[in-house]
Chains A and B, each alone.
Chain A
Amino acid sequence: MADAVVVVTLLLVAGSATTAVVVRDPVRQALVLAVLGVVLAVLFTAVQAPDVALSQLAVGGALTPLLLLLAVRKVKRRKGRER
């Protein structure tokens, strides 16, 4: 019964990771990835790995979406200039 938290967070991770694969638009994918990062951090906490969860929060919650969105922006600008 004490594993209910782990099971629930594992299901959330599986759901969000599957969604991140299924969604095709990069901008929406960045949103799903941000949620996946937070859910993964909660999973790491539930399995007693708070140090991993700390770095996962910083990387998954803010840094990965920022990098993705900046890349999307740059690609869009380059396309606009070529036209």
Chain B
Amino acid sequence: MNGWLVAATVVLGGGVGATLWGVATGPLRRRVVAQNLSTALACPGLLLLAQGYDRPAYVDLALVLALLGPVGTLVFARLLTDELADDPPRARGVTWAAAGLGAAVVVALCAAVGPSRAMAKLLLVGALLIGGNVVASRALSGGIAGVRGG
């Protein structure tokens, strides 16, 4: 068991476990934020697993999750507009904390693989992850008029 797998276990157990608690309890606005964070934390976990198992092909999973996670959150933002309109979620702090964790993981992995095509792919995953989650978080808190409109 190497360090990457230990880090993946900590991220998955601590981070995703906490979002599971958040999605199980509390008001609806807290639950949608926790659902968004669960994808934002599972993606660095998958990246760490790919490095820990020494299988670069597993990075594709993190890429797909970085693409589809914000899509899932946007589904909730669009279809729960009425429920969230009078009590909009505010989650700037945790969103940036999750984005920072993702950036730290991507930087550590880039340092591990060195300059190559794999590094470009990792940077793409990181950019998609952080950008997608910031956009999804803004859509949840009503920052994007198009999503709120329907």
Q: Which residues of A contact B (CB under 8 A)?
A: 1-2, 4-5, 8-9, 11-12, 15-16, 19, 22-23, 27-28, 30-32, 34-35, 38-39, 41-42, 45-46, 48, 50, 53-54, 57-58, 61-62, 65-66, 69-70, 73
Min CB distance B7 to A, Å, is 10
Q: How far is the CA of A16 from the CA of B35 in the complex (A)?
A: 12
Q: How far is the CA of A73 from the CA of B81 in the complex (A)?
A: 11
Closest 5 CB pairs of A and B: A62-B72, A69-B79, A19-B24, A8-B13, A2-B1
Sample (16) of A-B pairs whose CB atoms are under 8 Å apart? A2-B1, A5-B5, A5-B8, A15-B17, A16-B23, A19-B20, A31-B34, A34-B38, A34-B72, A34-B76, A39-B16, A42-B46, A54-B64, A61-B68, A62-B68, A62-B75
Residues of A with C-beta under 8 A to B13: 8, 11-12
Q: How far is the CA of A46 from the CA of B5 in the complex (A)?
A: 10
Task: Count how many pairs of residues, one from A and one from B, have CB atoms less than 8 Å apart in the complex.
Answer: 119
Residues of B with C-beta under 8 A to A32: 23-24
User: Known: A31-B35, A57-B61, A57-B68. Is A23-B24 also a contact (CB below 8 A)?
Assistant: yes
User: Known: A38-B42, A70-B79. Is A12-B20 also a contact (CB below 8 A)?
Assistant: yes
Describe B's contact surface by its main secondary structure.
Answer: helix
Min CB distance A29 to B, Å, is 10
Residues of B with C-beta under 8 A to A50: 55, 57-58, 60-61
Residues of A with C-beta under 8 A to B53: 48
A54 near B61 (CB under 8 angstroms)? yes
B123 close to chain A: CB less than 8 A:
no
B80 close to chain A: CB less than 8 A:
yes
